[in-house]
C-alpha cells in the first residue's frame, strides 16, 4: 500500500509523465488503476489535484472517489467534468450532475453541468436562466446564458432570446475588468444589435 501522500503524488506524477512522453493510454490506465486501489479516497483527491483538469487522469481516480464517497458533490462534479471532456455524453454526465445537486444544492459546478448537458437549445437556455437566478453573481453562468440565448435567437429568429442575450452581454460588459473582456463583449453586442435592426 502506498501510504505517504508524497509517494502517491510522485507515483501519479511519474505515470502522467510517462503517458505524456509515450501517448500510451493503456499503460496510463494500468498505472492509475493500480494506484487508486492502494490509497483512500481522501488521499487520492489530494494527490490528483495537479491533474484534476486532465480528464484521462481525473476520470479513473474520481471513479474510485465517487464509489467510496457517493454523496461527495465536489467529487461528482469533477468526475462529471472529466467524463464530459472525454466525450462520455450528456446522459452519464447529467446523471452525475443530478446526484451532485441532490447531495449539495449549493454546488454551482453541479448546476453548470446540469445546464450544459441539456441537448435541446431552448431547454438548455431555460436551464441557464435557472442557474443565473439561483446564483445571480455567477458571471460564467451569465456568459453561458448569453451565448445560448444568442444561438437560440440566431437559429429560430427568436426576438425574446435576442433581447435576453443582449441584456446578459450588457451586464457582463458593465462588470468587465480587462480591456480584452470589454472588447470581446462590445464586439458581440455590436453583432447582435445588427441582427435586431
d(Cα 189, Cα 195) in Å, to the nearest integer? 10
Query: Does the residue 73 lie in any domain?
Result: no
**Domain tally for the chain?**
1
Query: Does the residue 112 lie in any domain?
Result: no
> pLDDT-based confidence at 60, cuts 50/70/90?
very high
**DSSP letters along 87-153, please?**
T--HHHHHHHHHHHHHH-TT-HHHHHHHHHT--SHHHHHHHHHHHHHHSTT-HHHHHHHHHHHHHHH
Q: What is the mean pLDDT of the segment spanning 52-65?
A: 96
Q: What is the mean pLDDT of the segment spanning 148-158?
A: 94
Distances (CA, A) of 130 to 5, 45, 98, 146, 153: 40, 30, 15, 13, 18
Query: Does the residue 148 lie in any domain?
Result: yes
**Can you give the pLDDT at residue 3?**
45
Query: Does the residue 29 lie in any domain?
Result: no
Query: Does the residue 196 lie in any domain?
Result: yes
Give me the residue label for grid cell 455567477. Answer: 138
Q: What is the mean pLDDT of the segment spanning 83-105?
A: 97
Q: What is the CATH number of the domain that holds 166?
A: 1.25.40
Query: Does the residue 16 lie in any domain?
Result: no
Domain that holds residue 154: 121-197
Query: Does the residue 185 lie in any domain?
Result: yes
Closest CA to 111 of 89, 134, 88, 92: 134
User: Residues 7-19: pLDDT tens digits?
Assistant: 999 999 999 999 9
Q: What is the mean pLDDT of the segment spanning 47-64?
A: 96
Query: Does the residue 11 lie in any domain?
Result: no
**Can you give the pLDDT at residue 39?**
93
Number of H helices, E strands in the chain: 11, 0
Q: What is the mean pLDDT of the segment spanning 73-91?
A: 96
**Can you give the pLDDT at residue 195?**
83
Asked if residue 96 has pLDDT above 90, the reply is yes
Phi-psi region of 138 (alpha: psi -120 to 50; beta: other; left: phi over 0): beta
**Can you give the pLDDT at residue 5?**
54
Closest CA to 41 of 72, 77, 15: 72
Amino acid at each position: 500500500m502506498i501510504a505517504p501522500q508524497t509517494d502517491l503524488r510522485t507515483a501519479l506524477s511519474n505515470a502522467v509523465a510517462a503517458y505524456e512522453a509515450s501517448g500510451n493510454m493503456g499503460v496510463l490506465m494500468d498505472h492509475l488503476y493500480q494506484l487508486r486501489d492502494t490509497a483512500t479516497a481522501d488521499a487520492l483527491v489530494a494527490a490528483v489535484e495537479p491533474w484534476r483538469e486532465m480528464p484521462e487522469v481525473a476520470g479513473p481516480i474520481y471513479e474510485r472517489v465517487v464509489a467510496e464517497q457517493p454523496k461527495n458533490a465536489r467529487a461528482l462534479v469533477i468526475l462529471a467534468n472529466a467524463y464530459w471532456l472525454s466525450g462520455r455524453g450528456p446522459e452519464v454526465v447529467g446523471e452525475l450532475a443530478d446526484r451532485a445537486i441532490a447531495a449539495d444544492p449549493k454546488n454551482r459546478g453541479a448546476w453548470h453541468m446540469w445546464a450544459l448537458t441539456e441537448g435541446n437549445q431552448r431547454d438548455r437556455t431555460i436551464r441557464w436562466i435557472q442557474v443565473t437566478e439561483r446564483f445571480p453573481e455567477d458571471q460564467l453562468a451569465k456568459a453561458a446564458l448569453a451565448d445560448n440565448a444568442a444561438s437560440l435567437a440566431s437559429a429560430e429568429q427568436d426576438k425574446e432570446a435576442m433581447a435576453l442575450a443582449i441584456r446578459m452581454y450588457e451586464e457582463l460588459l458593465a462588470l468587465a475588468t480587462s480591456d480584452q473582456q470589454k472588447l470581446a463583449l462590445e464586439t458581440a453586442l455590436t453583432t447582435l444589435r445588427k441582427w435586431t435592426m
